[in-house]
């Protein structure tokens, strides 16, 4: 894990990229101050931004902090989940679009790791589905979610879009972070 410290005037994204290349870690904002941001900030797996009370000021620009997964697949529907782990699809092409132990299955507000792909219409989950019963033809989502990201002790302000934009994220922790004067605070799925 890399622990790095940034100061006002430094480029936040270059520090995040460095931490990401080392497998993740913490970016500490020190000294506490206002950091003017003039572009989007992209987060990756295992990144913790610890503001130590600092402000990220987008200066009225259409910039955001992005936490987004990748490799999204949503074609077809699911007909059943047998025994909590065997997912049966309809008009799905999972053999060419799913990577076991990388891709994850999202259904009824729950992410589950995919352990295997039997054929184009059958998945095996590593984490069992324990949600409510559902009707055949249900929508689902498969993606490689961004995981284990954290924003803490920050104020995010003055974006003409979202302060934070999230899609396909698992284990995102926004702790003691205030979002001010942004069109939306946190927007995503």
pTM listed for this prediction: 0.87
CA-CA distances (angstroms) from residue 97 to 39, 92, 124, 149, 153? 32, 9, 14, 25, 38
Residue 27: what pLDDT? 97
Reduced to 3 states (helix: H, G, I; strand: E, B; else coil), residue 110 is strand
Residue 77: what pLDDT? 97
Neighbouring CB atoms inside 10 A of 29's CB total: 25
What band does 189 get if pLDDT is binned at 50, 70 and 90?
Answer: low
Over residues 141-153, mean pLDDT: 97
Percent of the chain with pLDDT over 90: 90
Q: Is residue 35 pLDDT above 90, yes or no?
A: yes
Residue 72: what pLDDT? 97
Residue 150: what pLDDT? 97
Query: Mean pLDDT over all residues of the chain?
Result: 95
**E strand or H helix at 65:** strand 65-68
How far is Cα 100 from Cα 124, in angstroms, rounded to an integer? 9
Give residue-wise pLDDT tens across range 42-86: 999 999 999 999 999 999 999 999 999 999 999 999 999 988 899
Residue 188: what pLDDT? 84
């Amino acid at each position: 894990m890399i622990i790095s410290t940034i100061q006002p005037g430094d480029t936040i994204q270059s520090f995040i990229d460095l931490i990401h290349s080392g497998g993740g870690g913490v970016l500490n904002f020190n000294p506490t101050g206002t950091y003017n941001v003039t572009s989007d900030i992209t987060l990756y797996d295992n990144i913790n931004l610890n503001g130590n009370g600092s402000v990220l000021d987008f200066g009225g620009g259409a910039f955001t902090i992005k936490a987004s997964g990748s490799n999204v697949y949503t074609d077809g529907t699911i007909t059943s989940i047998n025994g909590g782990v065997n997912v049966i699809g309809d008009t799905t092409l999972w053999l060419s679009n799913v990577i076991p132990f990388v891709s994850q299955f999202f259904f009824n507000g729950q992410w589950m790791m995919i352990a295997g792909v039997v054929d184009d219409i059958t998945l095996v989950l590593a984490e069992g589905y324990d949600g409510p019963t559902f009707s055949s033809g249900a929508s689902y989502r498969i993606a490689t979610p961004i995981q284990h990201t954290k924003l803490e002790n920050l104020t995010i302000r003055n974006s003409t879009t979202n302060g934070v934009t999230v899609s396909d994220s698992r284990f995102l922790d926004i702790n003691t972070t205030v979002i001010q004067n942004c069109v939306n605070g946190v927007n995503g799925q």
